[in-house]
Every structure is written in structure tokens, then in C-alpha cells.
Copies of this chain bind each other. A is one copy, B any other.
Amino acid sequence: MATAPIFTPRDPNFAARVRASFDAQPLMGFIGAVLVSVEPGRCVIELPYRPELAQQNGFFHGGIVGTLADNAGGFAGYSLMAPEAGVLTVEYKLNLMAPAKGERLVAEGAVLRSGRNLVVSRAEVYVLGEAGKIHCATMQQTLMTMHGKGVA
């Protein structure tokens, strides 16, 4: 496995900027997601279980797993960007590896490569429950830096 590189953030206020962006997403509050931590090129998001977030077996719905992974990877990338830049998810690919059965989801995003315009990141999603901590999903993602008012 590749070790995630060490990054130096362009913006010393990266953590506050990421938190503000997270808080500005109504969906995060609607589902009850919590931004646990932000470091340069890394971001952890958690989500306590609620029955409304389930699929037909009572497990976290795959769409919710994907939402958390997308955001963890996206904010990991956003943490490395300049203060005036925006971030855009170009695409992501998610493998659902085990049922997301448990009381809490934890998505850990990490940047793999930070280019001038494009960022490649990953997220690992774990579910915590009676069976312990299960690695239930893995994601590979491409992000785009929106310099100033640029449009992809």
C-alpha cells in the first residue's frame, strides 16, 4: 500500500476553512455527520447510526457510505488548497467490501497526489459495531481545484 505523503498546507487557516465549508453543507447536518479532524491532506468524518439512513436490512445505505467517503476525500483535498480556491469532485469510485452494519461510520480521507489543478485522494470507511471495527468500503477519487472563479 502507498503511504500517504506529508503535505504542507498553502493556507495556515486550512482547518477553519474546511470546517466552515463542512458546516455550510446542509446535508451533513441533515444526516448527522460530524467533522472529527482535519490535518493537511487528511480529513475524518463520523456518522452515528439512525434508522432513516438504512437500506432494507437496517444497515447504513451504500449511498450514505459513498456520501461520507466523497466528503472525507474532498475535504482532505480542500485542506491543501489556497484560501480563495474551491474544490469540485470530478469523479469517485467506491468498493463496498462488507455490510455497513453497526452503530457508527468513520470515513478517513487522505490525499495521494496534489497537483496544480487535479488532486487524487482516497477514503477508507469503517463501521463500528458489535463485530468491532470493520473496513466496509474503499474509495479512489479525483478532485479539481477551482482557482478563483474558474469553471471546470
Tell me the A residues contacting B by CB distance below 8 Å.
1-4, 21, 24-27, 29-30, 51-56, 61-64, 66-68, 70-71, 88-98, 110, 112-113, 115-118, 120, 122, 124, 135, 138, 140, 142, 144, 151-152
When chains A and B are docked, how far (Å) is the Cα of A116 from the Cα of B152?
6
A26-B54, A51-B26 given; A92·B90 CB < 8 A: no
Contact of A62 among B1, B2, B26, B89 (CB under 8 A): B89
When chains A and B are docked, how far (Å) is the Cα of A142 from the Cα of B64?
18
B52 touches A26 (CB 8 A): yes
A27 touches B1 (CB 8 A): no
A63 touches B54 (CB 8 A): no
Complex interface: chain B residues within 8 A of A88 (CB): 96
Closest B residue to A92 using CB positions: B94
B53 touches A63 (CB 8 A): no
When chains A and B are docked, how far (Å) is the Cα of A117 from the Cα of B142?
14
A4-B1, A26-B51, A27-B64 given; A90·B93 CB < 8 A: no
Contact of A27 among B26, B61, B96, B152 (CB under 8 A): B61
Contact of A110 among B1, B4, B113, B122 (CB under 8 A): B1
When chains A and B are docked, how far (Å) is the Cα of A31 from the Cα of B115?
30
A54-B27, A61-B67, A152-B115 given; A94·B96 CB < 8 A: no
Residue among A2, A27, A70, A115 with the highest chain B CB neighbour number at 10 A = A27
B53 touches A30 (CB 8 A): yes
